[in-house]
Amino acid sequence: MTRDASAFSPAAPGIDFAGRWLDLSVPRVMGILNVTPDSFSDGGIFSSTGSSAFRIELDRVLAAVERMVAAGAAIIDVGGESTRPGAPPVPAEEELARVVPVVEAIAQRFDVLISVDTSTPDVITAVAKAGAGMVNDIRALLRPGALEAAAATRMAVCLMHMQGEPSTMQLNPQYQDVVAEVAEFLQLRREDCNKAGIPDSRLCLDPGLGFGKTVEHNYQLLARMREFSVSGLPVLAGLSRKSMIGAVTGRPVGERLAGSIAGAVLAVQAGAHIVRVHDVAETVDALKVLAAVKAAG
Comparing CA positions, the residue from 278, 219, 220 lying closest to residue 245 is 219
Distance CA(231)–CA(114), nearest Å, equals 24
**Domains present along the chain, CATH in parentheses:** 2-296 (3.20.20.20)
Q: Name the pLDDT band for 78 (thresholds 50, 70, 90).
A: very high
* pLDDT computed for residue 46 by the predictor: 55
- Number of H helices and E strands in the chain, helices first, is 10, 11
Distance CA(35)–CA(199), nearest Å, equals 30
* pLDDT computed for residue 40 by the predictor: 42
State the average pLDDT over residues 78-84.
84
Per-residue pLDDT tens digits for 238-280: 999 999 999 999 999 999 999 999 999 999 999 999 999 999 9
Q: Which positions are annotated as active-site residues?
A: 242, 276
Query: What secondary structure does DSSP assign to 154-176, as a single string?
Result: --EEEEE--SS-TTTTTSS---S
